[in-house]
């Protein structure tokens, strides 16, 4: 479980809060979607609760472990797929995976089995000895997914994971998400693709200008629109439309 309490973050070279008093509880056993327009603060939020960025204020708890006080322990409970897979092009795929396994202290046998399993599922088994520089974007993304699962984390965080994935791999990824939540793990992912969020998410949060403007299920979002605007038939509307209306009305309120 991931819990964020009143998180704020302003970058040193900016006078605008990238994340503003954000609180969020991401429960175990659910696929939690994180939606928002470009520049809304999704990646900043993810980086803050994964320990890659220090918040100006607020508390992050990973499975009840405070990130600020016990960062190493908290990070061991997290697996993160970054938004940018263009890292370490000079390393070979197996060197990269083994580095991550070493850092998480995974035994040789355990890592061998996991690499075998996930590289098989994502079709990377026979390119593990190749240099990452020769991989396509999608292959790098899949490698990042495998690296994030090598220590079997209780909280799996994915920042825009579907970008560049072929349909087969996207299907595998969604399958793994479902398997993990069935096993009581927490899955959190950010996306721009509304269809994916609509089909996969059990719950979602929508962020705009660093603030959470909605948290709950898609049905709750539909009901809310019905309630606010007194409209009938909102249950028929797509998440995309609901999302756009919500962001528009949120911006209208702030201006």
Q: Catalog residues that contact other proteins under the rule CB under 8 A.
A: 11-13, 47, 50-54, 71-73, 75-76, 78, 80, 82, 84, 86-88, 90-95, 97-108, 111-112, 115, 125-130, 133-135
Residue closer to other proteins, measured from CB, 63 or 202:
63
Residue closer to other proteins, measured from CB, 39 or 134:
134
Provide, rounded to whole angstroms, the least separation between the CB of residue 252 and other proteins.
32
User: How many Å separate Cα 32 from the centre of its chain?
Assistant: 8
Strand locations in the chain (E)? 2-10, 17-26, 31-35, 57-62, 65-66, 78-81, 155-159, 186-191, 203-208, 211-216
Instruction: Please write down the long-range contacts of 225-230, taking CB distance under 8 Å and 24 or more positions apart.
Output: none
Provide, rounded to whole angstroms, the least separation between the CB of residue 145 and other proteins.
14
Torsion, Cα of 138, 141, 143, 148 (10° steps): -160
Residue closer to other proteins, measured from CB, 89 or 238:
89
Tokens of 184: 């009581």
Helix (H, G, I), strand (E, B) or coil at 131: strand
Q: Residue 152's closest CA among 122, 111, 194?
A: 111
Provide, rounded to whole angstroms, the least separation between the CB of residue 133 and other proteins.
8
Provide, rounded to whole angstroms, the least separation between the CB of residue 187 and other proteins.
17
Residue closer to other proteins, measured from CB, 33 or 79:
79
Q: Is the CB of residue 53 less than 8 Å from the CB of residue 9?
A: yes
Residue closer to other proteins, measured from CB, 18 or 221:
18
Provide, rounded to whole angstroms, the least separation between the CB of residue 86 and other proteins.
8
Residue closer to other proteins, measured from CB, 109 or 219:
109
Provide, rounded to whole angstroms, the least separation between the CB of residue 49 and other proteins.
10
CA distance 226 to 104: 47
Number of residues assigned to the chain: 255
């Amino acid at each position: 479980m991931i819990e964020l309490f009143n998180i704020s973050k302003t970058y040193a070279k900016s006078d605008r809060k990238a994340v503003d008093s954000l609180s969020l509880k991401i429960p175990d056993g659910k696929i939690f979607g994180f939606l928002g327009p470009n520049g809304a603060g999704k990646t900043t939020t993810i980086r803050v609760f994964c320990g890659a960025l220090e918040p100006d204020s607020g508390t992050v708890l990973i499975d009840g472990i405070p990130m600020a006080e016990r960062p190493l322990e908290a990070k061991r409970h997290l697996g993160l797929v970054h938004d940018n897979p263009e890292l370490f092009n000079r390393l070979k795929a197996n060197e990269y995976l083994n580095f991550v396994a070493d850092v998480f202290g995974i035994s040789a046998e355990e890592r061998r089995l996991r690499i075998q399993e996930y590289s098989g599922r994502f079709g990377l088994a026979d390119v593990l000895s190749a240099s990452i520089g020769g991989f396509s974007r999608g292959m790098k993304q899949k490698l990042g997914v495998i690296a994030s699962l090598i220590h079997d984390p209780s909280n799996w965080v994915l920042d825009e994971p579907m970008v560049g994935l072929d349909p087969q791999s996207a299907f595998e990824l969604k399958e793994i998400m479902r398997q993990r939540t069935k096993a009581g793990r927490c899955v959190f992912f950010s996306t721009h693709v509304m269809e994916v969020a609509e089909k996969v998410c059990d719950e979602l949060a929508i962020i705009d200008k660093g603030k959470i403007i909605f948290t709950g299920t898609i049905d709750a979002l539909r009901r809310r629109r019905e309630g606010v605007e007194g409209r009938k038939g909102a249950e028929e509307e797509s998440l995309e439309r609901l999302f756009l209306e919500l962001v528009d009305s949120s911006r209208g309120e702030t201006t």
